[in-house]
Amino acid sequence: MRQTGANDKIRQVDLRALEILLYPDPRLQVACTPVGEVDGSVRALVGRMLELMFAHRGVGLAAPQVGVAARLFVASPGFDPEDCRVFINPRIVAASGVQEGDEGCLSFPEISCKLKRSARVTIEALDLAGRTFSQEAEELAARIYQHEIDHLDGRLLVDRMGSMARLAHRRALRDLQQRFEKARTT
């Protein structure tokens, strides 16, 4: 029996219908399944995710943010379509230093807070050709990659917020929850 990982789920996705999920959609908190094979359906999903990321003025987007529980994310730390990066089945293999900075998330519009992250990371992943590669990143790129890998593990911005940040954003979080409940009942 062949191992397909998340590929069967990806093949069933209606790419035109994809949209960025907002907190507290439970699909955001699912630990993702590794991609078994980098095929045309994976490449099509990546293309659609890049479109959505740029349309929403983001610098990173993970598959669960569009409702696909697959271990992959896209990024463009400089918000430049010529510098798009794709990470399939990523894992952090080394991390060092500490940085603290503002962090936002497309699934939490208009919310940002200061978070501590590793200042430098090394990531191993597959590219769109299915080849393993390693990439070192620091500062903003390192922050983005760690944030997106959190999504792949079902961990959200709100899970990393300190109590003061939660308090400062309680109204926005409540508004997102109410919006989600209203959408579910209509």
Active site residues: 148
CA angle 57, 63, 68 (to 5 degrees): 130
Neighbours of 165 (CB within 10 A): 17
Q: Are strands 132-138 and 120-126 parallel, antiparallel or unpaired?
A: antiparallel
For residue 163, CA distances in Å to 99, 118, 166 come to 19, 21, 5
Residue type, 177: Q
Cα dihedral sign, 128-130-136-137: positive
